[in-house]
Amino acid sequence: MKKGLITSFIAGIRAKDQGESYESILRYSWPEFITQLLLYSMPIWLDSYFISFLRSTQTYATLGATGTLVHSFTKVAEAMSVGTIVMVGQFNGRTAYKEVGKVMRDSFWITFIVGAILSAFLYVAAPAIYVWYGVPAEMAVLGVPYLRLRAVGILLMFVYLAFVSFLRGIKNTKTPMKIFIFGTIAFVISDYLFILGGAGISAMGLLGSAAASVVQYFVMLVTVLAYILSNEKNKKYAIDFFSPITKLTYIKELLWLSWPVLIDKLTIALSYVWLGKMLAPMGVFPLAAYAVVKDMQRFALTPGLAFSQVCTFLVSNEYGSRNWEGIKATIKKTLLLGIVMVFIVLLIFSLWPKYVICLFDKKGEFTDFAARSFPILSALAFFDLLQLILSGALRGASNVKTVMITRLVMCLGFFAPVSYMISTMAIQDDLVKFLLVFGSFYVANGLMCIVYVYRFRSEGWKLPSE
């Protein structure tokens, strides 16, 4: 007889002889946490902080609205890299080194082509994108040149990730980390100088942020390419980017391995784009509030992202040995750690939201609005935390399609229509409307959690790989 949900959770977090210990989960998690914090969260916050010195709410809102779109394209590149990592790893494990080189060549070209198409689309369609967004005209004027320059950085990012995937596939994870740190330092320095001016460089404002991203990925791309081609250990792979492609087998397999991850990642990423579109008719200040609340919550959820990554490989190891009870205990302990850490950050932000928000709102135009909404939305953000960790656990248990389908159904079948319906309602109080539209995204996350919990409480998740 199954225990009740709460009883089962309490038993799992108390289980000392089942699953990983709290100490081991934390030991695995802290490097991921540091990586997420220093390499992803902090650069975004510093970029927004530098932009805030321009004392323009329109500029800050444009950065936030465009950032969600750019984030979606990043997820496309990340998804495509999965197939490269898998195929390179498989051939490298068999010591079929020349095949590894062929996969690298094919990955480079397919990634370059896809990146070039998407970048060209962004460049050409930039004006139409802001029309579709429905943002105020002054934001579109700022956003079009910014997005067009970001398109150049996006192409460089696609190619860079293809090379990094090769390194990860041959089990070289330290070099990508070092290169990313180097690129992040280059970004922060150039971001400050380009946005605000200095060292003989004229201030470029918002355009400087886009220029800094181009510098970042150009530096990382040149560095990683030089490393791959000059390192003696890589000579055995006989990488020749201009050798003829005699068959499309590897390209087809690369795309086949990547598409489930692509749909999975894009579903959530595009939900943030849609959320911005639903809030755009409310004007510049609610859009700016959306940007700062979103970034604050993403910062608070950094431990959740780290625990999700760790949960995936911990569960995958236990899954191989069919240790079902150990898997469940590990998931529950990871959830508890994530809840405690995220709660502490969200509580601090919720008690003193204005102290954080004013860092990005030098004129104080949207601080009060964002501060009033943050505590309420933070309570709902726990659904996002839960779905992050549970989805990571399901991936570790080879239930990747369950995660993909659940996200697709909940975002397209619930979040999109409900948020659209609310956005068209004649609600006079902007704060109430903002909370309802934004909150509908977290309700969708809550529904995902219900599906994931049901999956784990059934026997279906124990079946062979999907």
| C-beta separation of 394 from 403 below 8 A | yes
Mean pLDDT score, 242-262: 75
Tell me the two tokens of residue 423. Answer: 């956005």
**Maximum Cα interatomic distance, the chain, rounded to a whole number of Å:** 73
What residues does each domain of the chain span?
1-52+283-466, 53-259
At 348 the pLDDT is 94
d(CA 129, CA 252): 31
Percent of the chain past pLDDT 70, that is, above it, reads 97
Q: Give me the pLDDT at residue 271, please.
A: 92
Dump pLDDT digits (tens) for 422-445. Answer: 999 988 899 999 999 999 999 999
Asked if the model's pLDDT at residue 417 lies above 60, the reply is yes
Is pLDDT of 409 > 80? yes
pLDDT value at 466 more than 60: no
At residue 101, does pLDDT exceed 50?
Answer: yes
User: How far apart are the two ends of the chain, measured CA to CA in Å?
Assistant: 27
Convert 392-403 to b/e letters by CB count within 10 Å (16 or more is b).
Answer: bbbbbbbbbebb
User: How would residue 244 be classed by pLDDT, with cut points 50, 70 and 90?
Assistant: confident
Q: How far is CA 368 from CA 51, 273, 358, 438, 455, in A?
A: 19, 24, 9, 17, 41
Instruction: Report whether 360 contacts 377 (CB < 8 A).
Output: no
Cα gap 352→346, rounded to integer Å: 10
Helices then strands, each counted (H, E), the chain: 17, 0
For residue 165, count CB atoms less than 10 angstroms from its CB and return exposed for 0-12, middle for 13-18, buried for 19 or more: buried
| pLDDT at site 65 | 86
Q: What is the pLDDT at residue 92?
A: 74
- The pLDDT assigned to 109 comes to 87
Residues with Cβ within 8 Å of 236's Cβ and at least 6 positions away in sequence, in order, are 97
**Amino acid identity, residue 396?**
G
Residue 18's pLDDT is: 78
pLDDT tens per residue, range 308-363: 878 877 787 777 667 778 888 888 888 899 999 999 999 999 999 999 999 999 88
- Whole-angstrom distance, CA of residue 385 vs CA of residue 363: 32
Span 19-55, pLDDT tens digits: 778 888 888 778 778 777 776 788 888 899 999 999 9
Q: 262-285 pLDDT, tens per residue?
A: 888 889 889 999 999 999 889 899
Confidence check: pLDDT of 1 > 50: no
Would you report the helix, strand and coil content of the chain in percent, each value rounded to 5?
85, 0, 15
- Mean per-residue pLDDT, 159-175: 80
Residue scoring higher pLDDT (50 or 5)? 50
- The model's pLDDT over 354-405, given as tens digits with 9 standing for 90+, comes to 999 999 998 889 999 999 999 999 999 889 999 989 988 888 777 878 888 9
Residue with tokens 């220093």: 38
Give the pLDDT band (50/70/90) at residue 79. Answer: confident
How high is the pLDDT of residue 461?
A: 77
The mean per-residue pLDDT over the stretch 200-225 comes to 91
Least confident of 8-12, 145-149, 340-344: 8-12
Closest-CA residue to 132 (of 65, 59, 57, 76): 65
How does residue 3 score in pLDDT terms, banded at 50, 70 and 90?
A: low
Rounded to the nearest integer, the mean pLDDT of the chain is 86
**pLDDT confidence of residue 413:** 94
